[in-house]
Amino acid sequence: MRRVELKFSRPKGQLLVLAEEALLTITSFQQHEPVSHEAGGMLLGRVLLGSNDVIIDRATTPNSSDRRGRFFFIRSRAAAQKEVEEAWQQSAATCNYLGEWHTHPEPIPTPSCKDRRNWIKITKKAHYSENVLFFLIAGLEEIRIWQISRGHKEPVMLSIAK
């Protein structure tokens, strides 16, 4: 059986791989129904030594303390931090916080001004081991990922790897 994953090219030639488990989690929340609410969570995974390729192994799911509506998703910080800490401990310190994901009810997702402001805020305030965080938006037809390096304010959209 063939594994399903998405590969994206990063600006300096490295890859970002959205592994099957994470991809299936995210696509299960796409807003295909007119009443579907936005959903989101965190991207967890690892950076491969020697190549700096990134593997997103897992996407967390919304929890009961998150706030969701048709055009918004606000993640509960306390519940999210607990999930990150548990993943870190259960993985013997190999599973890292790599960024955030959420859905949009549009075919090809584009980050809103609010999304961009939030991403910049996260890159300034979050504790993360790498120099970059990733932000994924799942639209109805496409999944897009942006990266922001520590200290930068402009997200860079990653392209699908050939």
Sign of the torsion angle spanned by Cα atoms 32, 4, 101, 29: positive
Q: Go through the chain and tell me how many residues it has.
A: 162
**CB contact at 8 A, 14 and 53:** yes
**CB contact at 8 A, 68 and 62:** yes
**CB contact at 8 A, 48 and 57:** no
**154 has catalytic annotation:** no
Here the tokens at position 28 are 């299960």
Here the tokens at position 8 are 């994206």
Q: How far apart are CA 58 and CA 25, in angstroms?
A: 8
Out of 38, 85, 130, 154, pick the active-site residue.
38
Q: How far apart are CA 120 and CA 147, in angstroms?
A: 11
C-alpha 116, offset from chain centre? 14
Please give the positions annotated as active site. 38
